[in-house]
């Protein structure tokens, strides 16, 4: 094993296995639980059992039916902030509230500077920004910075809440700037890649593709919901992945 160059940039992020994810939403729920009392502050939920529930979720899981008949399959697709190398959410922020940390590449929001203008949410092609109606500010996945650097926790517990709770082991956390890290090796072995790379944002988080079915699906369709612009892009991207 050779030493890494001193100039290697840390890029902390997630690797998500679309072949392993079972769509249980444990990642989303544990994220909610941790951040309710953590650095991100309270996350609101309004009318949870009514006709128009709303709230802040840093991590969401979408389920798609891909293909038809025997060749079809259900793909569960977790989505959160991808901590891009070229984040437009940072570029468009008029107050500097959205910023990218040099030390580890994590994209964060300074709540004291945020004015809730939502420009960052319009700039994000992944739909990863959340507006907190109670506080009037934008929020997002922080990779649990208050957890991964917490010296009071055992080393094994210094991972994002979503990673710690995944029962299927579909979520992995580490330094994607280090080609010798476990997550980088996993990406290389399984052909992991960026979400919608044509957008040019160079997301740090990577996805591991579902393994090929007996007959490769040719189309994807989101069940029971109309496609918005972001959903449409996701479906086209997932269709390309499943057709490889």
Question: What percent of the chain shows pLDDT beyond 90?
Answer: 67
Q: What is the pLDDT of residues 205-239, one digit of tens each?
A: 999 998 765 554 444 444 444 456 666 666 677 76
DSSP 205: -
CA nearest 238: which of 22, 26, 60, 62? 62
Q: What is the pLDDT of residues 157-196, one digit of tens each?
A: 999 999 999 999 999 999 999 999 999 999 999 999 999 9
Q: What domains lie within the chain, and their CATH numbers?
A: 12-242 (3.30.70.20)
Q: Which residue has the tokens 């128009």?
A: 52
pTM over 0.95: no
| pLDDT of amino acid 65 | 81
Q: What is the pLDDT of residues 92-139, one digit of tens each?
A: 999 999 999 999 999 999 999 999 999 999 999 999 999 999 999 999
| pLDDT of amino acid 241 | 66
Torsion, Cα of 221, 223, 225, 229 (10° steps): -20
CA distances to 4, 84, 110, 116 from 113, rounded to whole Å, are 37, 21, 6, 9
Rounded to 5 degrees, what are φ and ψ at 175? -95, 105
C-alpha atoms less than 13 angstroms from C-alpha of 55 in its C-beta half-sphere: 18
| pLDDT of amino acid 119 | 97
């Amino acid at each position: 094993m050779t030493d890494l160059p001193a100039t290697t940039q840390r890029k902390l992020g997630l690797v998500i296995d679309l072949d392993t994810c079972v769509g249980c939403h444990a990642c989303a729920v544990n994220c909610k639980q941790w951040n309710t009392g953590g650095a991100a502050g309270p996350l609101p939920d309004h009318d949870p059992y009514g006709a128009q529930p709303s709230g802040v979720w840093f991590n969401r899981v979408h389920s798609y039916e891909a293909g038809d008949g025997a060749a079809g399959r259900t793909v569960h697709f977790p989505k959160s902030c991808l901590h891009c190398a070229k984040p437009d959410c940072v570029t468009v922020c008029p107050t500097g509230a959205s910023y990218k940390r040099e030390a580890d590449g994590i994209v964060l929001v300074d709540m004291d500077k945020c004015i809730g203008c939502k420009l960052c949410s319009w700039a994000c092609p992944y739909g990863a920004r959340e507006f907190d109606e109670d506080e009037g500010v934008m929020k997002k996945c922080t990779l649990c910075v208050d957890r991964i650097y917490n010296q009071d926790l055992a080393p094994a517990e210094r991972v994002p809440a979503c990673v710690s709770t995944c029962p299927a082991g579909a979520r992995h956390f580490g330094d994607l700037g280090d080609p010798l890290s476990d997550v980088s090796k996993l990406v290389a072995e399984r052909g992991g890649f960026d979400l919608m790379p044509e957008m040019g944002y160079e997301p740090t988080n990577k996805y591991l593709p579902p393994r090929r079915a007996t007959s490769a699906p040719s189309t994807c369709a989101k069940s029971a919901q109309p496609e918005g612009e972001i959903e449409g892009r996701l479906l086209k991207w997932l269709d390309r992945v499943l057709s490889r």
